[in-house]
Structure 1
């Protein structure tokens, strides 16, 4: 990923070096700083962008202007803890502090470390931007009905929002986020980890329905999905949500497993994204692919699904059933029960061809390859049909369906 401005990497290195020298005692003072003045209206520029501008002024040696802008930011957004830390640092530099960081209480040292990591993550996200036009490899194909898509890169504490238009997916916004206290890769209930995988937003929860802890609102995800269940993963209640009103943001690893955004950023998601049709990818580190690379994966996935559609349209169970795993399960039905269901469905179709509408294909790869395929299944001559979701996995090098169910 390239630095679009060329010099931003220098800003990060200069800021780090500057802190290591003169700022040893700053965090305790800043962490405890409380402003009694009421917040003034925030200018159109986001608080994060204003904070980055402070860093740039420091790198340029314009510390007086940096101090003024940091003071303005903390006055406008008094609950932005990282901004308070930076403002405190700048004040203490002018006073030439002497107290070493080791003299701070353990809780204050931990708070300092978390806030500095937040600063690193925010700066790195701006210095190392996704390549122009690139997409996360998980977004194989999205239909026009999916107006947005979301990808979370846990290694960068960043959420990327894409708009799905006439020319495909376009990155329109990205936001700092917090994830689980113990990182990612959720396995069991209460492990304080954020799950990794491909999910869908299931509903929208307004703040009036929630405690203040969830801030501006919440977007629940369908964790555990069928692949998670197949892997024996447990737990529930994984949401995208905001922060309590007294906070601007949370430190990078500070949730019980949810993905948490600043309330202003959460409000944008609540306005823009739609339940059921918005996919959410949560990755340890996103892999960005070029449009040409994405098209190659899309063609292979389409070919696979077309083979399944043709087999179903044939009306012959002997052609269709080989696409299903011997470990298939759906709603309590095993592979034998499913074979009976397939034969019944094919008889009911009376030889009419199957059409797939509004198809979504998402890919996932950790220890197994996975495809999550969602589509409207419509028999020729009909206008509507069931919305189905399939989970495909590799068995002996061959793609097989291990779950299929109606979702609408």
Structure 2
């Protein structure tokens, strides 16, 4: 009994009970049924925790010994091993440990809690994250980082719908989520894209096997006055397998093996990276309804522009609208009225439309598409990024429009 009491504090009893109940019922997470890939080291650790919860310390310790031999730098596994050894004797962890050691242990326990909570989380099979409404063919994959739960998801674009391929434990900034100013040690909330790949040979050891920088601050961040730079997705020093949940200066950090898995799937200059707090999994039908509503608004905006109905066209721009040239709604309207007065014909074709719900903002969508504009005296093809917000009366309006995000 004392052994169980000693280990339950570490194993986070509530989580363990939920997972064991699922096992007893002969169920499996639907995400696993969908073929989702986890880090093998994490899967081994979770299996050990399950054995320990059942009181099978000998098997747990033997399996953990194999894991530590393969991953000697996995500090959480080392901690679990030590506490399992103590628990098997029926003793409690020495309460007289130093404050520094206690802080380190608490940080590792937070890592264990994060990994375990994900393992027992609700199943997601047949559901999709509501942050992704539509993906154009140009995006093979999408990275979504749930900052609140220290989880990175890799999705494949399957005919415009995200299909979950894999997910990994991740570390975020010491200041938490929601970057505002340089030096606040926070990880930004928003939608970005990977700008380049920096290989191991060009990086200090702290970044591990490589880095994938993202384009923070984007146009919306700059509009809100957010500052800072150097937000990367990167690996860990080879002296450790993973870092504790909040340990970076704002970057998203994952195990080196996991980083390599993701790097092989991303496209430089293309792959979106959505950083959010919490991930809402909904039915495909619910997303389809939201997607249809958004596409209808985009089409009405396009049609009014093409019809040279300047009044209707400008109604799609919010009073707070700012253009990529820095024009507010009033100056933008003057400019558009002047231009449209010279037009006898306008054709606007949109292609490769992607729609994503913008995290951290109230009722906002980020829309990206290729635009071909032809009039009686001008032709241009551009890449457009628009930020749409739904008003209190339910109408969608553009608050920011840019060609370079």
Given the superposition, is the C-alpha separation of residues 347 and 182 from structure 1 closer, same or farther in structure 2, using an over 3 Å criterion?
same
Deviation at 1:185, TM superposition (A): 1.8
For the 8 Å contact 1:200–1:222, the answer to whether it is kept is yes
For residues 27-38 of structure 1, what are the structure 2 equivalents within 5 Å? none
Question: 1:312·1:346 contact (CA, 8 Å) conserved in 2?
Answer: no
Contact 1:136 1:151 in 2 (8 A): no
Question: Which 5+ residue runs of structure 1 have no aligned equivalent?
Answer: 1-14, 24-43
Task: Compute the TM-score of the two structures, normalised by the length of structure 2.
Answer: 0.84
Equivalent position to 1:251, from 240, 244, 252: 244
Q: Give the direction of change, closer, same or farther, for the CA distance of 1:140–1:87 in structure 2 (3 Å limit).
A: same
SS class of match (1:140):
strand
- Partner residue of 2:7 out of 19, 44, 48: 19
Show the counterpart of 2:63: 69
Whole-angstrom distance in 2 between the partners of 1:182 and 1:312: 45
Match of 2:367 in 1: 373
SS of the residue aligned with 2:176?
coil
- What are the Cα deviations for residues 283-334 of structure 1, in whole angstroms up to 9, with x where unaligned? 2211111101101110110011111111221234333222223333223333
Compared CA separation, residues 45 and 331, structure 1 to 2 (3 A): closer
Is residue 402 from structure 1 mapped to residue 399 from structure 2 by the alignment?
yes
Q: What's the TM-score, normalizing by structure 1?
A: 0.83
Cα distance between partner residues in 2 of 1:164 and 1:62? 42
CA separation of 1:326 and 1:247: change in aligned 2, threshold 3 A: same
Aligned residue in 1 for 2:388: 392
Contact 1:177 1:252 in 2 (8 A): yes
Q: Does the CA-based 8 Å contact 1:180-1:253 persist in structure 2?
A: yes
Q: Deviations over 1:79-104 (max 9, x none)?
A: 11001111112233345545632x11
Q: What do residues 26-85 of structure 1 show as CA deviations (whole Å, max 9, x unaligned)?
A: xxxxxxxxxxxxxxxxxx971111111211222333322211111111111111100111
Q: Which residue of 2 aligns with 1:135?
A: 128
Give RMSD over aligned pairs: 2.8
Q: For residues 211-290 of structure 1, what are the structure 2 equivalents within 5 Å? A: 211-290=204-283
May I ask how many residue pairs the two structures share in their alignment? 373
The aligned counterpart of 2:94 is 100
Partner of 1:81: 75
Q: Distance in 2 between matches of 1:65 and 1:352?
A: 73
Query: Structure 2: how far apart are the matches of 1:293 and 1:326?
Result: 30
Structure 2 gaps of 5+ residues are: 12-37
